[in-house]
């Protein structure tokens, strides 16, 4: 067995290991090839929404603007077709009333969606595994749906006037022809 | 009168033919050189390695080509990542979209900046050194004495250097990407206060491992082959004088930078442009 460890071989080995670590970092942390490790310093709760909009895994969960947790999983309930959002709440916030209202808001006009909690008045607190029902949630405001609704209203307002104007035009055309003849 | 006209016509035809011959000559010379580099590479690649010796020489070259380039790569990538974080934040925060900083940094690094800037730095640091080393070996007739001893200098000198360059550039650009993303993270999240979850979460949802990371690695393998090919060929074919070696070193850096930037366009067009 050779025992002369040359500085060349050691440094080339370190170089290889560094490159492998970089590849691992790019694979796991940057491209999210697998779900990244989650530090379990908190408790999980789940909620139902009719629509989560652009909410993503690792989106923030805030209360009064302070970040208290992260979204860990978004899935579809196969029976009700509602979205089920699992969240990890930091252990420091153990005393959140279990009738709190959960809503999905947007940061700015074009920003990311995030989950907001408004404290309720119950004496019972949220704990590991508690689920908030659909009545307690406000779904995401989807901008496209709002625009569609707004345009639909505009069209409804515009329709009565257009139905009035339509019968007038055929009347004008015959009179135009009469002038010619 | 008629004879004079014929004479003038003949002269015009002759000059046309001369121009054609000049074009043909330069094309042939170019093709000849290109063919020479091809034959040269063939000899380098085809040589069967003799196990313990070849591996040792390869490790030695990995050290001088790869490990010694590590400092410049790490240092410049850290600052490039930090600049990207700073510039990206000032522009994105104008639109209230500073959560998208992570994906901006990661995509621009993994797809473009990592392979390209890595290759340019590599050409300047390692390629020029390879050319100068081989050129000096030629000038001091070490190559011909190897040949006299019955050792093929292509196998002994050029092949391990080529393989080491080909292997080390992708590794260097992987390290470049990782360090630069952490640099951007430091500036964007720790200093400017972008939300950490949004930074990594948006990055993970936008960066795809196969189409972004793997394509970036393919790019840097191609760049590594081209840069080391140019540098060892310039070293072998340099004029064995002090001036010739200097000119060959300059040519290495110029040609390989141009080749990297031009190839990058075509590789990008094929990989991301849906050509």
What's residue A1's pLDDT?
Answer: 43
Please answer whether residues A146 and A57 qualify as being in contact, where contact means their C-beta atoms are separated by less than 8 angstroms.
no
Order of strands across the sheet that contains A83-90:
A131-132, A42-49, A83-90, A66-76, A60-63, A113-118, A101-106, A137-138
Interface contact flag, B96 A110, Cβ < 8 Å: yes
A11 touching B, CB under 8 A? yes
Residues linked to residue A89 through DSSP beta bridges, in sequence order: A43, A69
> What tokens were used for B83?
């600049």
Residues linked to residue A132 through DSSP beta bridges, in sequence order: A47
What's residue B275's pLDDT?
Answer: 58
* Cα–Cα dist B89/B85, whole Å: 6
SS3 B195: coil
From A33, A60, A110, residue closest to B195, measured CB to CB: A60
Burial of A120 from C-beta contacts in 10 A (0-12 / 13-18 / 19+): middle
ipTM of this complex: 0.70
- Kindly list the domain boundaries of chain A, sorted by start residue: 1-32, 42-144
Please answer whether residues B193 and B215 qualify as being in contact, where contact means their C-beta atoms are separated by less than 8 angstroms.
no
* Cα–Cα dist B132/B236, whole Å: 10
Instruction: Work out the pLDDT band at A171, boundaries 50, 70, 90.
Output: very low
* Cα–Cα dist A20/B217, whole Å: 13
Interface of A with B in 71-100 (CB under 8 A): none
B172 touching A, CB under 8 A? yes
Among A97, A93, A107, A90, residue whose Cα is nearest residue A42 = A90
- Kindly list the domain boundaries of chain B, sorted by start residue: 1-46, 52-271
**B37 contacts: CB under 8 Å, gap ≥ 6:** B229, B233
Give the tens place of pLDDT for each residue, A78-115: 888 888 898 888 888 888 888 888 888 887 766 778 88
Q: 0.90 cut: is pTM over it?
A: no
* Cα–Cα dist A68/B147, whole Å: 72
From A12, A21, A67, residue closest to B63, measured CB to CB: A12
């Amino acid at each position: 067995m050779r025992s002369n460890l040359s500085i060349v071989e050691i440094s080339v080995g370190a170089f290889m290991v560094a490159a492998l670590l970089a590849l691992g970092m790019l694979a796991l942390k940057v491209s999210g090839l697998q779900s990244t490790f989650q530090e379990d310093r908190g408790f999980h709760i789940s909620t139902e929404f009719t629509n989560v909009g652009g909410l993503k895994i690792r989106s923030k969960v805030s209360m009064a603007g302070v970040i208290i947790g992260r979204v860990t999983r978004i899935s579809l309930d196969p029976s009700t077709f509602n979205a089920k959002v699992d969240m990890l709440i930091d252990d420091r916030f153990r005393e959140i009333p279990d009738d709190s209202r959960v809503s999905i808001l947007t940061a700015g006009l074009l920003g990311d969606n995030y989950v907001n909690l408004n404290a309720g008045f119950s004496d019972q607190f949220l704990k590991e595994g508690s689920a908030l029902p659909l009545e307690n949630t406000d779904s995401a405001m989807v901008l496209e749906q709002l625009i569609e609704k707004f345009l639909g209203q505009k069209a409804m307002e515009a329709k009565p006037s257009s139905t009035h104007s339509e019968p007038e035009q055929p009347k004008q055309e015959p009179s135009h022809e009469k002038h010619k003849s | 009168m008629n004879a004079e006209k014929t004479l003038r016509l003949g002269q015009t035809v002759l000059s046309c033919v001369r121009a054609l011959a000049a074009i043909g000559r330069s094309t042939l010379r170019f093709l000849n050189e290109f063919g020479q580099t091809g034959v040269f590479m063939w000899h380098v690649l085809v040589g069967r390695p003799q196990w313990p010796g070849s591996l040792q020489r390869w490790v030695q070259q990995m050290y001088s080509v790869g490990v010694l380039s590590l400092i410049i790569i790490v240092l410049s990538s850290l600052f490039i990542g930090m600049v990207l974080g700073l510039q990206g934040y000032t522009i994105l925060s104008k639109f209230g979209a500073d959560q998208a900083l992570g994906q901006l940094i990661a995509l621009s690094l993994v797809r473009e900046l990592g392979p390209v800037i890595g290759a340019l730095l590599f050409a300047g640091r390692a390629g020029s050194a390879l050319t100068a080393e081989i050129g000096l070996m030629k000038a001091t007739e070490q190559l011909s004495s190897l040949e006299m001893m019955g050792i093929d200098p292509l196998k002994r000198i050029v092949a391990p250097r080529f393989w080491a360059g080909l292997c080390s550039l992708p590794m260097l650009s992987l390290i470049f990407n990782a360090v630069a993303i952490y640099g951007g993270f430091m500036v964007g999240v720790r200093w400017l206060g972008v939300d950490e979850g949004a930074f990594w979460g948006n990055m993970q949802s936008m960066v795809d491992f196969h189409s972004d990371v793997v394509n970036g690695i393919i790019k840097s393998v191609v760049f590594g082959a081209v840069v080391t090919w140019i540098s060892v060929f310039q070293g072998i074919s340099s004029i064995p004088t002090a001036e010739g070696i200097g000119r060959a070193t300059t040519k290495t850096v110029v040609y390989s930078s141009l080749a990297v930037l031009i190839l990058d366009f075509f590789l990008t067009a094929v990989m991301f442009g849906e050509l």
